[in-house]
Chains A and B, each alone.
Chain A
Amino acid sequence: NAGVMQNPRHLVRRRGQEARLRCSPMKGHSHVYWYRQLPEEGLKFMVYLQKENIIDESGMPKERFSAEFPKEGPSILRIQQVVRGDSAAYFCASSGGESYNEQFFGPGTRLTVL
């Protein structure tokens, strides 16, 4: 049973470009969470989604950031017009099924904005 998959693992963008980060949850999981880890800091919650629904986006910046989890396909975290301050590691986690109270993390996408 494959774990949580994230791609790309590394992403380099210039200021003003768009970044798209993908997350495929574990098989049988219908809940996806996105977290951001800035250098030398802990993880900060961004958004919690179920299939086709955003449940909690209290940690998402109000502008430029959006997330979706369509009926088919991976969850996408989209950052428009990236700035240097968006450089961070973005982690996806999933939960569901028998492990509903435990989140399983992917390897992360490290975004570098030049």
Chain B
Amino acid sequence: AQSVTQLDSQVPVFEEAPVELRCNYSSSVSVYLFWYVQYPNQGLQLLLKYLSGSTLVKGINGFEAEFNKSQTSFHLRKPSVHISDTAEYFCAVSVDTGFQKLVFGTGTRLLVSP
């Protein structure tokens, strides 16, 4: 079975500072990896995904993530955050065998202050 760990429940950061949100996963088979963002009282929006190929993945809103197979990590980064990035961020994994359910981490709340 797969599992996802997001160790940081909340990350406070000042506007224009860089940020890294950590995600580690466990799986005995190849996986797809995803980061989703959830704004208050809304659904989830896909930020980026890793399926195969280059381990550095670029997504929307200036976010990127790096897949590290040896460390089983998929950390999300942004070099300079905005107030509007304040939201809940979820890392998720699915098994690399076609249509499969997503297993989510517990989420990291990013709080950007002026």
Contact = CB atoms under 8 A, between A and B. Distances in A.
Interface of A: 4, 31, 33, 35, 41-45, 48, 55-56, 59, 91, 93, 95, 100-108, 110
Contacts, number: 54
15 contacts: A4-B43, A33-B101, A41-B107, A42-B106, A45-B102, A45-B103, A48-B99, A56-B101, A100-B98, A101-B51, A101-B94, A101-B98, A102-B46, A105-B44, A106-B43
Given A33-B101, A48-B101, A42 B107 contact: yes
B63 to A, nearest CB: 16
Chain B, interface size category, equals 20 to 34
Interface of B: 32, 34, 36, 41-46, 49, 51, 90, 94, 98-107
